[in-house]
Structure 1
Amino acid sequence: MENKSHAFAAGLFALLLGLAAILAVYWLGGGREEAHDYIVVTKQNIGGLNPQAQVRYRGIRVGKVSDIRLDPDDYSNILITISVNDNVPLTTGTVAKLNYQGVTGLAHILLLETGKDSSPLEPNDDAPPRITMIPSLLDELGETGAATLKQARQLMISANALLNEENRAHLTATLANLDSASANLKPALENLNATLVQVRKVLDDRNVKHLSQAAGEVGPLLAESRVLIGKMQTATDKLDLAIGDASAGGTSALMPRLNELAQDFSLTSRQLSRVLRILEDTPQGLVFGAPSQAPGPGEAGFNPAGGQ
């Protein structure tokens, strides 16, 4: 009787353990959901991807990798068969991408929507639809890095060709010429600075005020001088007319003195006209004095070329 009770307890324990194992497998498997196969096509390296790897849709686990093989029609293609849950809304615009998990480096398939075509991707177990795989981040970095290194190499080759021995010698000579030119330019800048200081002293507020005042007084003076010259010209005309009239009494006796007076009058008029022209050309002469005249022949500092 005791042996039968031990056998019954052992059988019951084995039954319960089997049932627990079945429940654990069912729970770990996430339940049985209907799935369909799709084929991911790629020409890239898929190192780290193995069968039973996860398939994720926008980060959510939706299936697993069933098979990996070469395309018998084109050996440059790799065919990755994936099993995806039926409730995943795949479209003809869906693409696949090889992704890696954290520090473990385990690869999995990541399904993404490009938004180019939103029509549903109808499953077909006899001829599974194909999904294109786009380059992963590591592939893009590898291609970009290789292109960058190639460009850097070409740049270094061009730089070496540009900075050859002859060009370096020319560059050294150019830098030496620039250094010499800058050294010669320094005295000129100092002289220019001194000249500007002198000009600033000449054109201070007091001199500018005097010049403005003199220029304001020259205008009325010139107007009055023009009126005076007009009156003198009229008097000269009348005098010439009186001298030329033979019928006028006593005119012949005054002729010599009148001629002398007319000459002096004409000379004075020309001198006054000359003064007015000088004032019109250089009104600053009222403040700074008349400009110096260039020395003539026989005088000290005379230059036949026209300079001093």
Structure 2
Amino acid sequence: MESKINYTAVGAFVMLLGLGFAVLLYWLVTGGKQQQFTPYVIYATDSVAGLTENSSVLYRGVSVGHVTQIGIDPHNPGRIKILVALDASLPIRADTVAQLRPQGVTGLSVLNLTGGKSAQPLDRRNSDGDLVIPYEPSIFSRLEGGLSDTMVKITRVTDRVDQLMSEHNIQTIGAILDNVHTVTQTLADHQADIGEFIAAARQTAQHTARLTQSTITLVQQLEGLTDRFSRSIVGLKEALSATKTAANQVSDASQSTIRLTTTGTTMVQRLDQRVLPELSGLIDQLQQASLATTRLLNQLSDNPSRILYGAAPLPPGPGEAGHANASSSSRNSP
């Protein structure tokens, strides 16, 4: 008897049942509505161990998105570039900060967003134009880094202690202790000498103190002497300055005297060349006038009538009488 099962109907039923389960699962995941997401970028500066793709992104414990991609930043290998998709209705502010936080004891991690008190929206973008949420290492990351550094330092200290406590160094320390014991024993044997040395050192210190006091007194006296010497130097400088001023004045007076002497010499030369010859001629004329006046006075004293008749004619000389008479007769003839 042949089976009457319709495999086509069975296949269609299975397909419809699977599609129904898929729709139901999608409805359960999305809550029965279409959710919109906004992409953001987070640059992590520490280890992101435990964070995987599709890891949850929480905002103060509330799931608001998921991680879409994790990789090394090609522009800065020291950073991890994390791409996340967040609910488009979530207000991301300028003070929002992302931190990596472990999730229970599973070893997985999630990204937790904090902040949001600022009224200014996030506007920081990278070179690709994506919005960038600032990243801050969590307390666990800082503790992990601090513990790592501490362990490294402890390891270094342990290595150095091992080197310090080597066999050679132990032998050297033993030799040093033996030498210290020998020195201590020697000091104990010479305790009396050491006491005397200390007493002598005390006396030396006392003498040194007195010598220091005397030196201080001497220095003070030298300072006083230096002060007086300085004042003397100042006075000497003032005296030299006054002497220099007087010398300059004498020099100026000498120059004036020289100029005056030169001027007087020039004037004397001019008097000798021009005035004295004329004055000598005038004196000669005055002497001649004086002599003529003296002769005139003598003649008037001898013959006062000369004022009225003038001077008497001189008597004619030999041979002048006849000539004089002929001249008179010629003047008297008609």
Q: Same fold, TM exceeding 0.5?
A: no
Task: Write 1 or 2 for the structure with the bigger share of helix.
Answer: 2
Greater RCO, 1 or 2 (C-alpha within 8 Å, sep 6+): 1
**Bigger radius of gyration:** 2
What TM-score, normalized by structure 1, do the two folds share? 0.44
What TM-score, normalized by structure 2, do the two folds share? 0.41
